[in-house]
């Protein structure tokens, strides 16, 4: 069952194959295939920086937001932490 703290599009991207992510401009955004890591936007409370490790890199922003670079196999555990309120993947911006 998909994690409720993860955005629906992120849940879909995590279940996609590498080939599907490479073909889709939407699903692959934020994913680095060489290191199998995701750059994620996180809404949190408390001390998120204490989670900094070899598999999680935290860049604190303001107002309870951060950018976390997380190995794909640790995303579920990361999202289940009490400090983490919501996780979403970055989006591509298009100019008109």
End-to-end CA distance of the chain: give it in Å, rounded: 38
User: Does 1 score more than 70 pLDDT?
Assistant: no
DSSP reduced 3-state for 23: helix
DSSP reduced 3-state for 11: helix
pTM: 0.88
Q: What is the pLDDT of residue 48?
A: 86
Question: pLDDT by residue (tens digit) across 26-85?
Answer: 898 999 989 999 999 999 999 888 888 888 999 999 999 999 999 999 999 999 999 999
């Amino acid at each position: 069952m998909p994690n409720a703290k993860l955005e629906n599009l992120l849940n879909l991207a995590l279940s996609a194959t590498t080939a599907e992510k490479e073909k889709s401009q939407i699903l692959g955004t934020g994913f680095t295939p060489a290191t199998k890591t995701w750059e994620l936007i996180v809404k949190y409370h408390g001390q998120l920086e204490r989670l900094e490790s070899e598999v999680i890199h935290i860049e604190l922003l303001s107002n309870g937001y951060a950018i976390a670079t997380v190995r794909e196999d640790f995303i579920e555990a990361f999202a289940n932490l009490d400090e983490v309120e919501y996780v979403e993947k970055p989006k591509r911006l298009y100019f008109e």
